[in-house]
Chain A
């Protein structure tokens, strides 16, 4: 079939056709996910298993990254604020930066690198080794078992990981602020919550859900549509990371516009 399609005369050009065909495939993939997710049977055990792999196993890496981000961001912001004698505003600055942007973004990027690539590689290798076909033959719905479970796991685990990242980043920031400005923990947290609002927290959670869904669906899509043997597996893993990271930034930009519009209302 593929060869027949290749032989056909391109509609616009070969590359443009390929891009739009890929978009259509992705759209159909997402539609299929939303159709399958509500239909039984539900693979709870596999979802829990994927949650463990995606959430719990990513926790040490993401916690460490969050902690370092907190310390580094605080340290880098200090000179600019100290020029105005406003180092007492560091907690406010850090809380806005971490809760609104850094926490979700850093978590999503780390997860895209670690989880997205592993999902792409795993499903891709299953695809090229025809395990997915084998599952279909054995009356197991591979899409439900492989894709839905992983996408659900990433969608729900990324927001949880973001909570951890925020917490750990703020602790890292506190240690830095405490050692330099001698601010107490209670004062630090009072200042942290003074500058953020519920909108910041809810937008952060919703954004994380979106990031998680993106990482899962892109990883699964790339793995599910990989071809050309082991090379295809590597390409699937690579493109899963690149595309999900790119989409995460686009989504971040769009969510920012929406949240600012809501904030101004």
Chain B
């Protein structure tokens, strides 16, 4: 009797533990699939759902927030998706949020991703319909990829042609690569360029230093740029220059008049400057004057030794000697 009782207890424990495993599994599964969480229903209409199934997950900001509850045809061959979304998350999803179909990995299950939404829009409510954004179609991607492939073939063909020309030493680059002298020249050009760039760097540094000095206060150039009084002075100076230029212009005009008059043989100076006959006559006059002066000097020297002037000259010579001492 005692043995039977013991057996019953063991069977009870055995059954209890077995059922406990089942219940724990059910509860964990329910918790993970949000079966026992209060949820709201959201809808979205897609043209093509790409194999999405009921029970697939809904993601929002990378977090699983619900599952696909129903898939129905809608309108003209469109598909309406009904989603169960946790009620606690609904306040973060805005009415202008969008829904698209994606997958949780390269070859993973299909999922619906809710994204976007502005803070100005109110949170979603039960039964709201989200804007559906069609996902990238694999066929379209493949078509684009095919175009890329064709381009790649063309590019590689060109590259092949280019490299063969390079190898044969055609063109500048080919010549540089095959001709050692040209390569050396190119190397020296590069060295020169390098030196030039070093020098230009130095120059730039000096220019920087110079411009820094120019920017220092008390510097003439800095004052020119920053001091208002100097600017006014410069302006006044410029005005003076302007009036001076006007005066110069008037002066030039007058000089032009004078030169015109000088060129005119009807006046004295003009005649002097322009008439060769007059010049010849003047020249002979001057020669005559010179000879007359010479004769006058001789006459004066003779006068020095002549009475009554001799005494006067002696007196003057004495006075000059006294002044010199």
A159 CB, nearest partner CB in chain B, Å: 7
Tell me whether A164 and B35 are in contact (CB under 8 A).
Answer: no
Tell me whether A56 and B22 are in contact (CB under 8 A).
Answer: no
Contact of B18 among A45, A49, A52, A161 (CB under 8 A): A161
Measured between alpha carbons, how far is A95 from B299 in the docked complex, in Å? 153
Tell me whether A167 and B32 are in contact (CB under 8 A).
Answer: no
B263 cross-chain contacts in A, Cβ below 8 A: none
Which B residue's beta carbon lies closest to that of A265? B54
Tell me whether A193 and B19 are in contact (CB under 8 A).
Answer: no
* Contact string against A for B residues 28-57, beta-carbon threshold 8 Å, 1 for contact and 0 otherwise: 111011010000000000000000000100
Tell me whether A164 and B10 are in contact (CB under 8 A).
Answer: no
Tell me whether A56 and B14 are in contact (CB under 8 A).
Answer: yes
CB of B187 closer than 8 Å to a CB of A:
no
Tell me whether B19 and A197 are in contact (CB under 8 A).
Answer: no
CB of A163 closer than 8 Å to a CB of B:
yes
6 nearest interchain CB pairs? A160-B18, A163-B21, A163-B18, A52-B7, A51-B11, A193-B32
CB of B171 closer than 8 Å to a CB of A:
no
Interface size class of A (residues with CB under 8 A): 20 to 34
Within 40-54 of A, Cβ neighbours of B (below 8 Å) are at: 45, 48-49, 51-52
Tell me whether B32 and A160 are in contact (CB under 8 A).
Answer: no
Tell me whether B32 and A201 are in contact (CB under 8 A).
Answer: no
CB of B15 closer than 8 Å to a CB of A:
yes
B8 cross-chain contacts in A, Cβ below 8 A: 48, 52
Contact of A160 among B15, B26, B30, B55 (CB under 8 A): B15
B320 cross-chain contacts in A, Cβ below 8 A: none
Given contacts A55-B14, A163-B19, contact A194 B26 (CB under 8 A): no
Measured between alpha carbons, how far is A49 from B10 in the docked complex, in Å? 10
Tell me whether B11 and A55 are in contact (CB under 8 A).
Answer: yes
B1 CB, nearest partner CB in chain A, Å: 10
Tell me whether A201 and B22 are in contact (CB under 8 A).
Answer: yes
B265 cross-chain contacts in A, Cβ below 8 A: none
Tell me whether B25 and A201 are in contact (CB under 8 A).
Answer: yes
Measured between alpha carbons, how far is A189 from B35 in the docked complex, in Å? 17
B7 cross-chain contacts in A, Cβ below 8 A: 48-49, 52
Interface size class of B (residues with CB under 8 A): 20 to 34
A51 cross-chain contacts in B, Cβ below 8 A: 11, 14-15
Tell me whether A198 and B26 are in contact (CB under 8 A).
Answer: yes
Given contacts A52-B11, A197-B55, contact A189 B18 (CB under 8 A): no
Q: Which residues of A contact B (CB under 8 A)?
A: 45, 48-49, 51-52, 55-56, 59, 84, 156, 159-161, 163-164, 166-167, 189-190, 193-194, 196-198, 201, 205
B17 CB, nearest partner CB in chain A, Å: 8
A196 cross-chain contacts in B, Cβ below 8 A: 29
Most chain A CB within a 10 A radius of its CB, from B19, B21, B28, B55: B21
Measured between alpha carbons, how far is A55 from B17 in the docked complex, in Å? 12
Which B residue's beta carbon lies closest to that of A195? B109
Which B residue's beta carbon lies closest to that of A45? B4
Tell me whether A193 and B10 are in contact (CB under 8 A).
Answer: no
Number of A-B pairs whose CB atoms are under 8 Å? 62
B22 cross-chain contacts in A, Cβ below 8 A: 163, 201, 205
* 13 CB-based A-B contacts, threshold 8 Å: A48-B8, A48-B11, A56-B11, A84-B107, A160-B14, A160-B18, A163-B19, A164-B18, A164-B21, A166-B25, A190-B32, A197-B33, A198-B29
B83 CB, nearest partner CB in chain A, Å: 17
B26 cross-chain contacts in A, Cβ below 8 A: 198, 201
Measured between alpha carbons, how far is A160 from B7 in the docked complex, in Å? 17
Measured between alpha carbons, how far is A194 from B26 in the docked complex, in Å? 12
A159 cross-chain contacts in B, Cβ below 8 A: 18
Within 2-16 of B, Cβ neighbours of A (below 8 Å) are at: 4, 7-8, 10-11, 14-15
B21 cross-chain contacts in A, Cβ below 8 A: 163-164, 166-167
B29 cross-chain contacts in A, Cβ below 8 A: 193, 196-198, 201
A197 cross-chain contacts in B, Cβ below 8 A: 29, 33, 55
Tell me whether B4 and A59 are in contact (CB under 8 A).
Answer: no
A48 CB, nearest partner CB in chain B, Å: 5
Given contacts A160-B18, A164-B18, A167-B21, contact A198 B35 (CB under 8 A): yes
Contacts A49-B4, A56-B14 aside, 4 further interface pairs with beta carbons under 8 A come to: A52-B7, A84-B107, A160-B19, A164-B21
Most chain A CB within a 10 A radius of its CB, from B8, B21, B25, B55: B25
A163 cross-chain contacts in B, Cβ below 8 A: 18-19, 21-22, 25
Which B residue's beta carbon lies closest to that of A49? B7
Measured between alpha carbons, how far is A164 from B14 in the docked complex, in Å? 10
A84 cross-chain contacts in B, Cβ below 8 A: 107
Measured between alpha carbons, how far is A45 from B3 in the docked complex, in Å? 12
Which A residue's beta carbon lies closest to that of B104? A194
Measured between alpha carbons, how far is A139 from B22 in the docked complex, in Å? 41
Most chain A CB within a 10 A radius of its CB, from B10, B11, B26, B29: B11
A194 cross-chain contacts in B, Cβ below 8 A: 32
